[in-house]
Amino acid sequence: MGNSKIMADRILVTGGSGFVGTNIIEDLISKEYEVLNIDFKEVRINDHKAFWKNIDIRDFNDFYNAVLEFNPDYIIHLAARTDLDGKTIEDYSSNILGVENLLKIVQDLPKLKKVIITSSKFVTLNGYQPKNQHDYCPHTMYGESKVETELRVWANEPHCDWCIIRPTSIWGPWFGIPYRNFFDVIMKRIYFHIGQVKCYKTFGYIGNSIYQIESLLFAETPDKNNKVFYIGDEPPYEINEWADEIAAELGFKVHTVPMCFIRLLASFGDFLKLFHIQFPMQSFRYENMTKDGTNDMKNTYKIAPGQPFSRMEGIKATIEWIRKHEVK
């Protein structure tokens, strides 16, 4: 990643205590930008406390005052509720009211050069190829909330340059559920391949994701027909290959289990779910593990060509981080 910058640049990151935010804050600090993290969750790295304000973006007055006092040149808006547990759209008020508040505040920042608003690949079904940047088909309440995020941006376009990013399945140091689980089950040697199924999905190593987000932040994206950018690695991962690479780094091989056996486990898991008993395999997970889910990265790679980190470099760094942060 490049290290050139204007010394006066101030960068506001909302949601900087989360997985992606923690990595962005760490990178921006290392490049000596002036950084502010607005998040109601405590930071994950103790040294980041100096850059953190404990503010809920749904609280307009506190949010407004903090942003205007900082007077940023750039904004990366990551703050959101991202789990899939919500039952209603109101459960995801951070994703709707939070962006509404941000868009109002942006109007009072005349020197603002660029704002990035984070959406999600879940604005469409997994594997669906949208016809254009306004083609939505969410299948979860979280996805619905991110559609609402995007609609509000389009209805209240910032006065400065802006773009929307849709992170795919991002992994690496400081990650959590669900993508941390993939590494955990392999490291515990309880992961297995499902028959001879090959499944391709767009994933992204966090180091490459930070490079892409920062490239978009400092590039101009004026074309109204190209305002949406997926964040992820190219080409898509073949999941068996990725699992084999992780296992090989750990010194063992992943075993293969017949598909019919996994289907039975999924049916059994569905049955237990009726009694509110959690089981590792259910039909939802089985479908996710056996169906492709790729995203079009062309727009992103025009602005952020190449990838600073190979998948193996990411695997090694992630295993090292997991071991370092294991509960003793």
User: How many domains does the structure of the chain reveal?
Assistant: 1
Q: Answer whether residue 71 is part of any domain.
A: yes
CATH number of the domain enclosing 128: 3.40.50.720
Mapping DSSP onto H, E and C, the string for 18-50 reads CHHHHHHHHHHHHCCCEEEEEECCCCCCHHHHH
Q: Residues 114-131: pLDDT tens digits? A: 999 999 999 999 888 999
Q: Answer whether residue 180 is part of any domain.
A: no
Cα–Cα–Cα angle for 221, 225, 228, rounded to 5 degrees? 60
Which residue, among 299, 300, 265, has the nearest Cα to 279 in the 3D structure? 265
Q: Answer whether residue 224 is part of any domain.
A: no
Phi and psi, residue 75, nearest 5°: -130, 130
Whole-number Å distance between alpha carbons of 170 and 80: 15
Contact by Cβ (8 Å): 11, 74: yes
Q: What is the pLDDT of residue 277?
A: 87
Whole-number Å distance between alpha carbons of 114 and 116: 7
Q: Answer whether residue 108 is part of any domain.
A: yes
Structure tokens at 196: 């001879």
Whole-number Å distance between alpha carbons of 96 and 146: 8
Whole-number Å distance between alpha carbons of 324 and 328: 10
Mean pLDDT across the stretch 154-159? 97
Which residue, among 137, 171, 242, has the nearest Cα to 19 in the 3D structure? 171
Does position 319 have pLDDT exceeding 50, yes or no?
yes
Contact by Cβ (8 Å): 42, 27: no
Q: Answer whether residue 243 is part of any domain.
A: no
Q: Residues 5-49: pLDDT tens digits? A: 545 699 999 999 999 999 999 999 999 999 999 999 999 999 999
**Which is it for the CA torsion 155, 229, 319, 251, positive or negative?**
positive
Residues 6+ apart with CB under 8 A from 206: 19, 20, 23, 170, 171, 172, 173, 174, 175, 314
| H helical segments located in the chain | 19-30, 60-70, 93-106, 141-155, 179-187, 206-218, 239-250, 259-273, 283-290, 298-303, 311-324
198: helix, strand or coil: coil
Does position 2 have pLDDT exceeding 70, yes or no?
no
Q: Residues 263-305: pLDDT tens digits? A: 888 888 888 888 888 776 778 777 777 788 899 999 999 999 9
Q: Answer whether residue 32 is part of any domain.
A: yes
Residues 6+ apart with CB under 8 A from 174: 19, 22, 23, 44, 206, 321
Burial classification of residue 200, based on how many CB atoms lie within 10 Å of its CB (0-12 exposed, 13-18 middle, 19 or more buried): middle
Q: Answer whether residue 270 is part of any domain.
A: no
Whole-number Å distance between alpha carbons of 100 and 153: 8
Q: Which band of pLDDT confidence, cut at 50, 70 and 90, is reported for residue 328?
A: very low
Q: Residues 246-266: pLDDT tens digits? A: 999 999 999 998 888 878 888
Domain containing residue 108: 10-167
Q: Answer whether residue 28 is part of any domain.
A: yes
Only one residue has tokens 């690949």, namely 121
Whole-number Å distance between alpha carbons of 74 and 82: 23
